[in-house]
Structure 1
Amino acid sequence: MVHRNAPLTPEGRRRLVERCRTRPIAHVAAEMGISRATASKWVNRYRRFGELGLRDRSSAPIRQPTATPGETVAKIEIMRRERKWPAARIAFELVADDVTISRRTVTRYLDQLGLNRRRFIDPDGENNREVRKIVAKHPGHMVHLDVKKTGRIPDGGGWRAFGRGSSEAKAVARTKTRGARAGYIYLHSAIDGHTRLAYTEALENEQASTAIAFLERARDWFTQHGIVKIERIITDNGSCYRSRAFAEVLNGAEHRRTKPYTPKHNGKIERYNRILSEELLCARTWTSEAQRASALTTWNLHYNYHRPHGAHRGKPPASATPACVNNVLASYI
Structure 2
Amino acid sequence: MSHRNARLTVHGRRILVERVLAGRPVAHVAAEMGISRPTAHKWVRRWRAEGDAGLLDRSSRPHTTPHRTPAVVEGEVCRLRTARKLGPARIGPARIGPARIGPARIGPVLGLPASTVHRILVRHGLNRLAFLDRPTGRVIRRYEHARPGELVHVDIKKLGNVPDGGGWRVVGRAAGEANRQATTDSRKSSKPVIGYSYVHSAVDDHSRLAYSEVLPDERQHTAAGFWQRANAFFAAHGITVQRVLTDNDSCCKARLFTRTLAADGITHKKIRPYRPQTNGKVERFNRTLLDEWAYQRPYTSDHERREAFTDWIDWYNYHRPHTGISGHTPASCVNNLPEQHT
TM-score (norm 2): 0.58
Matches within 5 A, 1:198-209: 198-209=210-221
- The residue aligned with 2:317 is 304
CA distance in 2, matches of 1:122, 1:160: 41
- The residue aligned with 1:169 is 177
- The residue aligned with 2:84 is 120
Larger Rg: 1
- Tell me if 1:131 matches 2:143: no
Query: What is the deviation of 1:325?
Result: 3.9
Q: Once structures 1 and 2 are overlaid, which stretch shifts more, 175-184 or 296-305?
A: 175-184
The one-character-per-residue Cα deviations of 1:14-70 (angstroms, maximum 9, x if unpaired) are: xxxxxxxxxxxxxxxxxxxxxxxxxxxxxxxxxxxxxxxxxxxxxxxxxxxxxxxxx
Q: Once structures 1 and 2 are overlaid, which stretch shifts more, 123-132 or 144-153?
A: 123-132
- Tell me if 1:248 matches 2:259: yes
Query: What is the deviation of 1:315?
Result: 2.0
- The residue aligned with 1:275 is 288
Matches within 5 A, 1:102-251: 119-120=83-84, 129-164=138-173, 166-172=174-180, 176=187, 178=190, 180-227=192-239, 229-250=240-261, 251=264
Query: What is the deviation of 1:170?
Result: 4.2
CA distance in 2, matches of 1:200, 1:291: 17
Indicate conservation of the 8 Å contact 1:235/1:258, yes or no. yes
CA distance in 2, matches of 1:180, 1:121: 47
Query: What is the deviation of 1:173?
Result: 5.2
Query: What is the deviation of 1:130?
Result: 3.6
Structure 1 residues 119 and 173, CA gap change in structure 2 (3 angstroms): farther
Gaps of 5+ in 1: 1-80, 85-114
CA distance in 2, matches of 1:311, 1:225: 20
Matches within 5 A, 1:310-321: 310-321=323-334
SS in 2 for 1:139: coil
Query: What is the deviation of 1:328?
Result: 3.4
Q: Once structures 1 and 2 are overlaid, which stretch shifts more, 306-315 or 292-301?
A: 306-315
The one-character-per-residue Cα deviations of 1:209-244 (angstroms, maximum 9, x if unpaired) are: 0000000000001111111x2111011010001011
Query: What is the deviation of 1:161?
Result: 1.6
Letter in 1 for 2:84: F
Structure 1 residues 180 and 167, CA gap change in structure 2 (3 angstroms): closer
SS in 1 for 2:282: helix
Instruction: Please point out which of 254, 259, 272 is paired with 1:259.
Output: 272
Indicate conservation of the 8 Å contact 1:225/1:325, yes or no. no
- The residue aligned with 1:18 is none
CA distance in 1, matches of 2:175, 2:336: 52
SS in 1 for 2:327: coil
SS in 2 for 1:140: coil
Aligned residues: 216
- The residue aligned with 1:48 is none
- The residue aligned with 1:105 is none
Indicate conservation of the 8 Å contact 2:234/2:241, yes or no. no
Indicate conservation of the 8 Å contact 2:163/2:179, yes or no. no
Overall identity of the aligned pairs, in %? 41
Gaps of 5+ in 2: 1-75, 88-102, 104-120, 127-136
- The residue aligned with 2:29 is none
Q: Once structures 1 and 2 are overlaid, which stretch shifts more, 125-134 or 185-194?
A: 125-134
Indicate conservation of the 8 Å contact 1:318/1:326, yes or no. no
The one-character-per-residue Cα deviations of 1:192-222 (angstroms, maximum 9, x if unpaired) are: 0000000110001000100000000000011
CA distance in 1, matches of 2:276, 2:311: 28
Indicate conservation of the 8 Å contact 1:304/1:318, yes or no. yes
Query: What is the deviation of 1:139?
Result: 0.3
Structure 1 residues 277 and 171, CA gap change in structure 2 (3 angstroms): closer
SS in 2 for 1:249: helix
CA distance in 2, matches of 1:242, 1:195: 26
CA distance in 1, matches of 2:139, 2:82: 13
SS in 1 for 2:281: helix
Query: What is the deviation of 1:320?
Result: 0.7
Indicate conservation of the 8 Å contact 1:140/1:230, yes or no. yes
CA distance in 1, matches of 2:338, 2:274: 36
Letter in 1 for 2:242: E
The one-character-per-residue Cα deviations of 1:268-325 (angstroms, maximum 9, x if unpaired) are: 0000000000000101111111111111111011000111111332221101112324
Letter in 1 for 2:234: F
SS in 1 for 2:163: coil
CA distance in 2, matches of 1:219, 1:258: 20
SS in 2 for 1:200: strand
